[in-house]
Chain A
């Protein structure tokens, strides 16, 4: 091994051995983490069951605020899902070499966030067993779903994105699955062999895979942009104050990429620490993502300013009621916290080069995630609290059910990720053929 800090060439097989050896074993610490997050998820499932059994009256959702934490979480998780596929696809298409250790972590975020985010409309509809009514199939009552409803658009967009993201995650996993199969035996080998679909490593297969990944990257970019646009249409197709905006779709897409990068930074920092991936997830990867985060922070500020300026300048009474509510009292605190989290803190930590480090970039990622959750809350709740008729005004406070389910989704994300890194290499072995620094 070369002296510490000096680069050393690792052979292909040593990189394979090294990455595979980092996959966590079922140690006591690992099982304790699984148990803890599993317990939180179980509690959230209990809360959901309680809501189904006893009705929506047990939540904080009531007239006029019918969309509360569930829709906030829906938009938040779908937003984060843009981490992976979008970032990975952009970097793949632009040929950014530094993406290689980052892409799989990002693609896994996408799939898990979509699975979690896609649950919220189901939780929100209450009678979840009627979900299949959304699916267009010939039925005995000769009914069809309302194809003009943004709710139906959500269904098609999320299903398409989930399908595409799963395939986009799976395709580059295939050679690694074959690699694991070749290094294991018995039942484990049979499972990985089956999952690798008979991969042999022929040039014909490599060429087909590279071609498929390029085409998938192009397709997934378009789908990812459309998905968060459709989520924005859920709001902007209504004529509720401050929602009926032409820039809502790009505003949401920008916010989604912003929160996605933040989530990726946090996940990478956690993986680096917990799995000892310091040689692979290096400072340069964090700095590059930090620069992207900074760019998206400025874009987010621009869109937020444009959105608020248009409302303020128009001075329409219905809109100003919501605008003023957001600026004052409790919502005012939330608003300025959001601005601090999404702009002020990242601007200082990422803008001043002396302050830029893995720790500060991770802190920025954490504040952005908090800020973006607050942004979704500020979009959903104040508008519904102040409908056009003052007599219909109301407030919203989540009950233990919404709080439990919200906590459960964060635990579910951690749980899914822990299970994923146990079963699959989090760094694409076949893509990683660079010089890595000595330990």
Chain B
């Protein structure tokens, strides 16, 4: 079966949201839908909800960096025991700041990594064609296997101003 994409252009984001709801009610999976816009389309809850592990990875990054830095500091202090003003060679108080900063650095790098991963930046892992965004409005992308003719009706019914069929190779054919 040939995979192809439909790009439906809407002047108003609300119409695109209505199209997503119509397609979902008709049993079309949300995982096959994507919305493209120059501004974020914000709805509560998100119209295309996505699972994110960004917070988890941020916490894991924080724990890892904090632990590694604390271990390094303690090991280095034991390896080279420098006496400073009568302080004990190793002390949580004296290394608290280093631990904290490393912990936060780990969290920040974790967030950055997950943004790049989850947003598919630096190369698109999905391989889907990217529509040309109109100056105003949004584009709804529908991934379909085989014949896409049946899908065009709900898209035009919800106010799509232009529908374009694009093969996975990226060659468009306007309808």
Contacts and interface: CB of A to CB of B under 8 A. Distances in A.
A143 B82 CA distance: 10
Contacts of A206: 37, 40-41
B119 A205 contact: yes
Nearest to A210: B40
A199 B104 contact: no
Contacts of B77: 144, 147
B72 interface: yes
Contact of A148 (B40, B52, B95): B95
B97 A203 contact: no
A198 B124 contact: yes
B130 interface: yes
Contacts of A144: 76-77, 79-80, 82
Chain A interface residue number, banded: 35 or more
Contacts of A233: 97
Contacts of B108: 160, 163-164, 167, 216, 219-220, 223
B46 interface: yes
B101 A226 contact: yes
Contacts of A187: none
Interface of A is mostly: helix
B36 interface: yes
A179 interface: yes
26 contacts: A13-B38, A16-B38, A136-B72, A136-B76, A147-B73, A148-B87, A148-B94, A153-B98, A156-B102, A160-B102, A163-B109, A167-B108, A199-B119, A199-B121, A202-B120, A204-B119, A205-B120, A205-B121, A206-B41, A211-B54, A211-B115, A215-B58, A216-B108, A223-B101, A226-B100, A226-B101
Interface of A: 11-13, 16, 136, 142-144, 146-149, 152-153, 156-157, 159-160, 163-164, 167, 171, 174-175, 179, 182, 197-212, 215-216, 219-220, 222-223, 226, 230, 233, 430, 433
Interface of B: 34-42, 46-48, 50, 52, 54-55, 58, 72-73, 76-77, 79-80, 82, 84, 87, 91, 94-95, 97-98, 100-102, 104-105, 107-109, 111-112, 114-116, 118-124, 130, 133, 135-136
Given A144-B77, A159-B105, A216-B108, 15 more contacts: A13-B38, A142-B80, A147-B76, A148-B91, A153-B97, A156-B101, A159-B101, A164-B105, A179-B38, A203-B47, A204-B48, A204-B120, A205-B119, A212-B115, A226-B104
